[in-house]
Amino acid sequence: EHSHLLQLARQACIRLSGTTPSGASMTAVNDGNAAVDLTKALFRRLNEQCQERGLPLFVVSIGVDQLINQFAPDEWSKADRQFADQARPFFESIKVPFLDLGESMFKAAGADPRRYFIPVDQHLNEEGNGLCAQLAWPWFQQQLAGVLSASSRS
């Protein structure tokens, strides 16, 4: 999902490709199919690196689109929305366990989800991350149990 780290990696890949987009073309990268393709490529590579090291990769989407739409509908870029719409089938295609907390986060946040976000930034604050962890933990425990079970059979 969108994060500062992912943006940093995205920018590094763009620079390594030999192009340094101007402000106008950078908008196209961040808001178009190229950004979605690059995000998928980053996750594919991350998954490959995890597999090479015998480590599992799990992905949890906090589903902020529903929450942000409630109080700042224009804050999510076109590329973020495109990737979010394609996330579940994409992660299934590369066999990475994926959890979308969108509906759970939306219900748990209640009428005023702003208290879970850093003002202006649209990223979860400490309380929002705590809620995300609380909601994701049962799923994550199941994933870890599966990994431990598989490794004990090896």
In this predicted structure, what is the pLDDT of residue 71?
A: 61
H helices of the chain, in order, are 4-16, 23-31, 33-52, 64-71, 78-93, 102-109, 126-153
pLDDT for 123 equals 79
**pLDDT by 10-residue block (mean), the chain, 154 residues:** 57 65 48 84 95 95 70 70 89 96 87 82 86 95 90 74
Please check whether residue 132 is in contact with residue 62, taking contact to mean a CB–CB distance below 8 angstroms: yes
CA dist., res. 49 & res. 54, Å (int):
9
- List the one residue out of 115, 63, 99, 57 whose CA is nearest residue 84: 63
Single pTM value for the model: 0.74
The confidence score (pLDDT) of residue 19 equals 56
Residue 23: what pLDDT?
A: 47
Q: Is 18 exposed, middle or buried (0-12, 13-18, 19+ CB in 10 A)?
A: exposed
pLDDT at 55: 93
* Integer Cα distance of 85 and 79 in angstroms: 10
